[in-house]
Structure 1
Amino acid sequence: MHIDEWLQAVPAGWIYVTVALVIGFESLGIPLPGEIVLVSSAILSAKGVVDPVWVGVCASTGAIVGDSAGYAIGRKGGAALFERLGRRFPEHFGPRHVGKAESYFQRFGVWAVFVGRFIALLRILAGPLAGALRMPYWKFAVANVLGGIVWAGGTTAVIFYLGLVAEKWLKGFSWVGLVVAVLFGIGTTLYLKRRAASALDEGDLQGVVRGPVDV
């Protein structure tokens, strides 16, 4: 059963809880499909299954709390934490992945926390890495709160309104409109992810966490 099918099969209250927990644990540093859960829930809100406001609130809360917990863990564990995670989960926390994320932090400082919310790699590593690099907590907190609200609330709002517009539009046109909309969405997503990956590759560094980040 796919995530969207499972979400449609559970009560609305559990959808809100699922959104908050999955995004929260992903932000904590556990590789989970937070973005997929958020988008699926936002689509359900366009269908009237759940309230888009509560989806955005739960997603934002999960993102902010999860990143804060990840920051605390990273600050306490430091470089040793990423070395252990790299040995156990090389596909997510290997030296190359952490090196890319670290280079992004070194180049953009506190902005990496905000922008990282929109990039899969940094969405998992931003909190723990900010803590391990000793980023001042107040700077991290501001970027974390703003990034969480903009990402979660913005994604929910965009998907919700696109869903409403698409439903009205498709009533007046044929199934061809749906195909065009899907292809446009896929193309836009691939383009943005490719641009984000290129930005990370430009500042790629070898190795793992070295020391405090310059913010």
Structure 2
Amino acid sequence: MTNTNPAAAAQTADPASNLGGIAQWAVDLMEVIGAPGAGLAIALENLFPPLPSEIILPLAGFTASRGNFSLFEAVLWTTLGSVIGALVLYGVGAALGRHRMRVLVGKVPLIDIEDIDRVEAWFERHGYKAVFFGRMIPLFRSLISVPAGIERMPVWRFVLLTTAGSLIWNVIFVLAGFYLGENWHIVEQYSGVFKNIVIVVVVLFVVYWLASKTLKYRRNRAGRN
């Protein structure tokens, strides 16, 4: 006759009990205060990018599948949290302002005022698309709100674009977590690959930019000698 440990059996039957770290914190938050907990977690993710939405959003769907709240509430509150977090960073950018930004960035080595002018011109042309699509790119999800505030993009338009972009991103991950259930971590694996690709592209761009700036500096220095 085989003896079964009830506690061990319960732990095996309940996948949430095997979570740890950020995942367990997010689930606990959602179980305590419901769907608003998912929104709070996503708002904090906007302010502290190390908190990964790629984990929190599928967990919101997973928690909804367990009956803690509805799927609609999961999407509604996570999108509301995305907008609130983005608005805070928009406010940071607006408080910084173009003048302070130019002064601060202009003191960074290898950056010319012309570079800042080019970035501002690019954002003026493509800012709306950047805010919309930026909400669906890891790392840039939070950062894109700051230049939008610096350039004083109309708040109503910023909220509209942020809501639309966030809604698409959130629905994809929340639905994945909802239908995958205890296998929600599969989403994390694939999103992790996407995030790594983004990181590699950014690093390559930074290396290229630094190399081109260094060469330009050396040429100018050689021309003065």
| Match of residue 68 from structure 1 | 87
Query: Distance in 2 between the 1:157 and 1:16 partners?
Result: 15
Check conservation: 1:74, 1:128, Cα contact below 8 A: yes
Is it true that 1:144 corresponds to 2:162 in the alignment?
A: yes
Check if 1:189 corresponds to 2:207: no
Q: Give yes or no for the alignment of 1:2 onto 2:21.
A: yes
Name the CA distance, whole Å, in 2 between partners of 1:82 and 1:66: 25
Normalising by structure 2, report the TM-score: 0.60
Kept after mapping to 1: 8 A contact 2:60/2:74: yes
**SS of 1:48's equivalent?**
coil
- Whole-Å separation in 2 of the counterparts to 1:115 and 1:65: 18
| Cα distance per residue 1:100-156 (max 9 Å; x no partner) | xx6995784322212222223212212122111333444423311101211122321
Letter of the structure 2 residue corresponding to residue 3 of structure 1: I
Give structure 1 stretches of 5+ with no counterpart.
85-94, 168-180, 208-215
Candidates 43, 61, 82, aligned match of 1:24: 43
In the superposition, the TM-score normalised over structure 1's length comes to 0.62
CA distance in 2, matches of 1:19, 1:157: 14
Assess, with a 3 A threshold, how the Cα gap between structure 1 residues 14 and 54 changes in structure 2: closer, same or farther: same
Any unmatched runs of 5+ in structure 2?
1-19, 105-110, 214-225
Deviating more after overlay: 69-78 vs 197-206:
197-206
1:68/1:5 Cα in 2 relative to 1: closer, same or farther (>3 Å)?
closer
Report the equivalent of 1:172. Answer: none
Aligned-partner SS, 1:149: helix
Tell me the number of residue pairs that the alignment of Structure 1 and Structure 2 aligns: 175
How far the C-alpha of 1:59 sits from its partner, in A, is 0.4
Q: Cα offset for 1:44?
A: 2.0
Say yes or no: does 1:131 pair with 2:149. Answer: yes
What CA distance in whole angstroms lies between the structure 1 residues aligned with 2:126 and 2:146? 16
Q: 1:163 aligns with which of 170, 175, 181?
A: 181
Letter in 1 for 2:88: A
2:49 equivalent to 1:47: no
SS in structure 1 at match of 2:38? helix
Percent identical among aligned pairs is 23
Are the counterparts in 1 of residues 44 and 51 from structure 2 also a CA contact under 8 Å?
no
Q: What do the CA deviations read for 1:23-75 (whole angstroms, capped 9, x no partner)?
A: 22333x33451512222222222333432221111100011122123212211
Q: Evaluate the alpha carbon distance shift between residue 8 and residue 185 of structure 1 in structure 2; reply closer, same or farther with a 3 A threshold.
A: closer
Residue 117 (str. 1) matches residue 131 (str. 2): no
Higher relative contact order (CA 8 A, sep 6+): 1
Decide whether the 8 Å contact of 2:59 with 2:174 is kept in 1.
Answer: no
Q: Distance in 1 between matches of 2:205 and 2:61?
A: 34
SS at 2:48 equivalent: coil
* Root mean square deviation, CA, Å: 3.8
Specify the alignment match of 1:213 in structure 2: none
Asked whether the equivalents of residues 64 and 71 of structure 2 are also in contact (C-alpha less than 8 Å), the reply is yes
Q: Give the secondary structure class of the aligned counterpart of 1:120.
A: coil
Do 2:31 and 2:68's aligned partners in 1 also have CA atoms closer than 8 Å?
Answer: yes
**Structure (1 or 2) with the larger CA radius of gyration:** 2
